Amino acid sequence: MSDTKPKLLIVEDDEGLQRQLRWAYEEYEVIAATNRAAAIDAVRALEPAVVTLDLGLPPDPDGVSEGFAALAGILALKPDTKVIVASGHGARESALRAIANGAYDFYAKPIDIDELGLIVSRAFRLHALEAENRRLLDQGGRDRTVLGGMITAAPEMLKVARTIERVANADVSVMLLGASGTGKELLARGLHDVSERASRRFVAINCAAIPENLLEAELFGYEKGAFTGAIKTTEGRIEQAQGGTLFLDEVGDIPLSLQVKLLRFLQERVIVRIGGRRPIPVDTRIVCATHQDLNRMIAEGSFREDLYYRLAEIVVRIPTLAERTGDAALLARHFLKRFAPAMNPLVQNFAPDALAAIDAWGWPGNVRELENRMKRAVIMADDRLLRAADLDLTTGDAETVPISLKAAREATDRRMLRSALSRTDGNISGAARLLGISRPTLYDLLRQYGMQ
């Protein structure tokens, strides 16, 4: 057999069925085991990516105890292995228990070779995608980073990074639009670092974090004696960014009265400190960010349209974590490597249910939510493997793990289709090759899931 073939372990005590599966799956390097001990030895020695496991193994062929013991042993050795469990004993109860214990999927006997083959091929594709994410994470002993140290392998975020790199040296204002926790300040710093202004200061101010009556002084500075407590002349953030980059975070929170003064600076590139009369020329690059709908605010009269067009010469929309293909698992592994050594060295890896939950969760709080959940999970975990329960991702919410095997398979198909189409920029032939299927099959799947 070719060493390049993916390894498939069949754990089945029925030798006739073994032969049938070997014949059906000749595109894989098939290894067979008839009992739990042989299966564990095979996993330890050969590290198969996918395992089909009959729960009815000797010495308990009429029950499921040996099968579940084998499942636990396999996942303890190789948590990333995709285990497809089959049984004719109490199929529904066994299915629910197997998925809860980390199995990738379940199939009730009698086995349909074609349908099981489809499940197996999906498992191999998912295993390959996860392996690629791990490879990118560990490449060169470092995390895969782009602008500002942002960790990503998602085509959606890499496209954003390329856009920012292209505009870095253009003399234009840049507006970053995205939900809270998507990394807007990280990208703003990245833009500064690859620009011709990198040798000068990057000055950031969160306009929503400073009281309205103090924000003008923070931005424009003040002269000694300008107001009670002004005991010395102080430069504002705009002046501090001379020759560099000024990042206005949450620019939508600037009050209307101050928007007029900011607009005047953008038009004339000079400021006057509070209590002062002398105009001070300032050469600074403006980058701003907001999670608010500025078009709605303009319509409501709470944000000036002329200021918007001064700030938004280039607009870059930042995808949410849920829209970044494969990045949730990639970032989770990064945070595990970052937090575990200092906070809980016992924790070494993820249980399969944790990775499934991370992939399925909607992440309304984006990267910030993921970081917080990982930190808490690492601290609270009492096992070598981090589980979905440690991440508090087992609440049964609609955005967690799908509620049925059919729904789980459909969700996996949709993710794989989106991933392949993203990676090939929508090229159908390229996506079909990446997925290992024909173009007609890909078209059928796109029609089936309403993704034309």
- Res 234 pLDDT > 70: yes
The secondary structure of 218-250 as a DSSP string is HHH-B-TTSSTT--S-B--HHHHTTTSEEEEET
Residues 6+ apart with CB under 8 A from 265: 220, 238, 271, 282
Question: Which of 3.40.50.10090, 1.20.970.10, 3.40.50.2300, 3.20.20.70 is the CATH number of 7-138?
Answer: 3.40.50.2300
**Whether the predicted pLDDT of 415 surpasses 60:** yes
DSSP 8-state assignment for residue 259: H
| Interval 347-377: pLDDT, tens | 988 887 788 888 888 899 999 999 999 999 9
Q: What is the pLDDT of residue 1?
A: 40
Q: What would the pLDDT profile of 51-70 be if each residue is shown by its tens digit?
A: 999 888 888 887 888 989 99
Quick: pLDDT tens for 401-411. Answer: 444 455 566 66
Helix (H) or strand (E) holding 32: strand 29-33
Measured distance CA(193)–CA(169) in Å, rounded: 11
Supply the CATH classification number for the domain 155-318: 3.40.50.300
Domain boundaries, the chain: 7-138, 155-318, 405-448
- For the question of whether the overall pTM of this predicted structure is more than 0.75, the answer is no
The alpha-helical segments, DSSP class H, found in 254-325 are 256-268, 294-300, 305-311
The DSSP bridge partners found for residue 51 are 9, 83
Would you say the CATH fold of 155-318 matches that of 7-138? yes
Looking at the domain that runs over 405-448, which CATH code has it been given? Answer: 1.10.10
Distance CA(130)–CA(326), nearest Å, equals: 8
Q: Label residue 444 by pLDDT band (50, 70, 90).
A: confident
Q: Percent helix, strand and coil across the chain, each rounded to 5? A: 50, 15, 35
